[in-house]
Amino acid sequence: MSWTPIGKPAPVRENANLTDYAAARRDFSWEAERRGLSGLPGGHGLNIAYEAVDRHARGPRRDHVALRWVDRHDRVTEYTYRELAERSGRFASLLGHLGVRRGDRVFTLLGRVPELYVVVLGALKAGCVVSPLFSAFGPEPVRQRLNLGGAALLVTTPELYRRKVAGIRDSVPSLRRVLVTGDEDGPGTSALSPALAAASPEFEIGPTSPEDPALLHFTSGTTGTPKGALHVHEAVLAHYVTARHALDLRPADVFWCTADPGWVTGTSYGVIAPLAHGATLVSDEGEFDARRWYSVLAAQRVSVWYTAPTALRMLMRHGPDTASGYDLTALRFIASVGEPLNPEAVVWGQEVLGHPVHDNWWQTETGAIMIANLAAEEVRPGSMGRPLPGIEAGLLQRGPDGRALVTDGRVRELTGAGEEGELALRPGWPSMFRAYWGDRERYERSFSDGWYLTGDIARRDADGYYWFVGRADDVIKSAGHLVGPFEVESALMAHPAVAEAGVVGKPDPVAGELVKAFVTLHEGYPPTEELRLDLLAFGRRALGAVAPKEIAFDQHLPHTRSGKVMRRLLRARELGLPEGDLSTLESVP
């Protein structure tokens, strides 16, 4: 395994939140970290919204800007911690007036608008379970998740209600109320703004156990029925600690998380973590545009930026000159999540933005960052980093299906450098999911012999850095080799002509599967046969026996709504399956 450490370790190490990794792991305890939070007054437990907003609103940071909202027309509106506490208190009071009780599920179908933060925090104050939905979902994914979670109340916009909810409303029997943003009621809905104005801002949060349900996050459902991962109020401790360690976050920071609020990252680190630290959270309503994003970074003086590999690759395609026209001197730390980060993006960050991009790893089920490249360490491009203090990770021997091999309820941990296995975690961190909603059997299958089984395949180097290989169900089995698509994609993207790549297994009667790559080219590189042969040779030099045997040029690779290349759709093409039949696609291996 080859890597080149990059970054500026000397000055960064002196100023980072976590300066001695070995000592931090040795001395760490969640109980000690718990003292960094306030807890509810009178010893009445732990509530996410109190830690994120109310404790600051009652202290010296009451007039510090909590939320800085940039609307799609570039107008900026700011809300202090005191104002956000008051508005979320009004929503909590409103829920009581509407008959929404503790434990009821409150769903949001909203973009990056101020109402999102008010609703999420207010519902948590009231003891409800918050379940955010991706605003780009179609009616069927919305209906499915509302029913799976037994939604009692939904907050959305009038437009989204008309397009995505009105037609399926009658098929969600649990849904008692729908509130829409703005001032006007509509058919089957009530207006949020006048209701909030009439509600009392004074709301006393009731006793909340750290184990009380708080957040219900649904997985994407790309491989079957969506799974609803349930998290509890104690998760705020993991959000708080991991943001300090993995994102180097501090109260003085201006923090921008670009993740959509409908996904777990958009909640854990787009709402809770920065507010728990008393930082200023930037929220941009606009869609991705390279110049817009650079403008937000510059104009809002963003100091810590948490984004996705897809967005970074899109910025890379615009070239370094686009960034040069913006003052990014406030930026001091960049991190990425959502899918593995290609090494080229790490190096590009150092060369163009002045900082390497720090990849990290976690899942909907873990609720918070588990493994990360840290601010005080040199970044190893292509690695997800090392386990955070308080997290014990391991690699387990795999069976023929790529998953951990369980024999008589026992698994075998791999300890050698460079060995590949299923990534597993020892349970016990505060944001660990407590259930799959309504599916106890599925939840229990996620654990074996004292490990949580992630389904991700990884390897670990001699220094304890983990390297993503692929999802167990994505790994290609070719002529006796287990090939991780991400490794092949990253190798191809090191070629100057390649902007993006998607790698899948193509059925072959002899090898079982052949490694095939679909490649998007940078502007100025025509898709010639000469270039195809050059890429095949480039792959062989970098990867040897696991290099792609076929390469197809494709300037329009299929992507999910969140920007990931849809390998399953590429596999469907190779199998000759109809691309538009989602029920057929679910069966693609």
Three-state secondary structure string covering 85-114? HHHHHHHHHHHHHCCCCCCCEEEEECCCCH
Phi, psi of 130, rounded to the nearest 5 degrees: -95, 130
**Confidence band (pLDDT; 50, 70, 90) for 14?**
confident
Q: Lowest-pLDDT range, 149-158, 299-308, 529-538, 539-548?
A: 539-548
Model pTM score: 0.85
pLDDT for residue 222: 42
- pLDDT tens digits, one per residue of 126-164: 999 999 998 888 898 899 999 999 999 999 999 999 999
Contact call for residues 390 and 368 (beta carbons, < 8 A): no
pLDDT for residue 466: 97
Q: What's the DSSP call for residue 42? A: G
- pLDDT tens digits, one per residue of 98-133: 999 999 999 999 999 999 999 999 999 999 999 999
pLDDT for residue 547: 87
Q: What's the DSSP call for residue 272? A: I
Q: Residue 69 has which token pair?
A: 């909202």
Percent of the chain with pLDDT over 90: 75
Q: What's the DSSP call for residue 199? A: S
Q: Lowest-pLDDT range, 10-14, 313-317, 476-480?
A: 10-14
Q: Spell out a b/e string for 249-260, using b for 16 or more CB atoms within 10 Å of the CB, else e.
A: bbeebbbbbbbb
pLDDT for residue 3: 57
pLDDT for residue 561: 61
Contact call for residues 293 and 547 (beta carbons, < 8 A): no
pLDDT for residue 13: 61
pLDDT for residue 5: 63
**Confidence band (pLDDT; 50, 70, 90) for 319?**
confident
User: How far, in Å, are 80, 206, 245, 405 from residue 59 at the CA level?
Assistant: 12, 20, 24, 52
Percent of the chain with pLDDT over 70: 92
Q: Write down all domains in the chain, each with its CATH number in brackets.
A: 1-22+235-389 (3.40.50.12780), 74-233 (3.40.50.12780), 475-585 (3.30.300.30)
The answer to whether residue 512 scores a pLDDT higher than 80 is no
Average model confidence (pLDDT) across the chain: 91
Helix (H), strand (E) counts: the chain: 22, 28
pLDDT for residue 586: 30
pLDDT for residue 7: 56
The answer to whether residue 588 scores a pLDDT higher than 70 is no
- Residues 6 or more apart whose CB falls under 8 angstroms from that of 249 comprise 17, 243, 255, 273, 274, 277, 279, 304
Which amino acid type is present at position 449? D
Query: How many angstroms separate the CA atoms of 253 and 8, rounded?
Result: 20
- pLDDT tens digits, one per residue of 391-428: 999 999 998 777 899 999 999 999 999 999 999 999 99
Query: How many angstroms separate the CA atoms of 66 and 64, rounded?
Result: 6
pLDDT for residue 219: 84
Q: Which of 111-120, 218-227, 572-581: highest mean pLDDT?
A: 111-120
Query: How many angstroms separate the CA atoms of 477 and 484, rounded?
Result: 9
Phi, psi of 578, rounded to the nearest 5 degrees: -65, 125
pLDDT for residue 10: 42
Q: Higher model confidence: residue 7 or residue 488?
A: 488
- pLDDT tens digits, one per residue of 250-301: 999 999 999 999 989 999 999 999 999 999 999 999 988 999 999 999 999 9
Query: How many angstroms separate the CA atoms of 434 and 498, rounded?
Result: 42
Give the closest residue to 104 by CA, choosing from 93, 96, 115: 96
Three-class secondary structure of residue 64 per DSSP: coil
* Residue bearing tokens 């360690």: 245
**Confidence band (pLDDT; 50, 70, 90) for 1?**
very low
Using DSSP bridges, classify how beta strands 413-414 and 393-396 pair: parallel, antiparallel or unpaired: antiparallel
Task: Report the length, in residues, of the chain.
Answer: 589
pLDDT for residue 562: 60
